[in-house]
Amino acid sequence: MKATDVALICKALGDSNRLQIIELLSTGEKCACKMLEKFEITQPTLSHHMRILRECALVNERKEGKWTHYSLNCSTLSAYRDFITGLTCDAATQKECGC
């Protein structure tokens, strides 16, 4: 995963509502109408956030009749996790802070 993709994902997660949405979706696929109940935002605002989360490929969307179901995109999430996991302090910095 490229650094620009990572930055885009970080920007998406940099909003508290969107981070909470991701945490909610980590418990499983959710319908937009159910998600709306959990947040103090209007329906258009939720729709806006979901578009941002989709555009950076963090979430998938599944339409079923008039409902839209959202779920985490496993591969994007895991690539992102791998990138962040790779961000570590060098040996000297670690020695300095004693961690």
Partner DNA sequence: TTTTTATATTGACGAATATCTATATGTAAT
Partner DNA sequence: ATTACATATAGATATTCGTCAATATAAAAA
Separation of alpha carbons 31 and 83, rounded Å: 29
How far is C-alpha 43 from the chain's CA centre?
A: 19
Closest distance between DNA and the C-beta of residue 47, in Å?
Answer: 4
Nearer to DNA, 55 or 96 (CB): 55
Contact mark string toward a second copy, 2..31, x via CB under 8 A: -xx-xxx-xxxxxxx--xx-xx--xxxx--
Contacts of residue 22, Cβ cutoff 8 Å, sequence gap at least 6: 13, 53, 58, 59, 72
Q: Which of 29, 38, 51, 81 binds DNA (CB under 7 A)?
A: 51
Output the CA torsion 39→44→46→52 (10° steps).
-160
Helix H or strand E segment including 27: none
The count of residues interacting with a second copy (CB under 8 A) is 42
Contact positions vs a second copy (CB under 8 A): 3-4, 6-8, 10-16, 19-20, 22-23, 26-29, 60, 71-75, 77-78, 80-81, 84-85, 87-90, 92-94, 96-97, 99
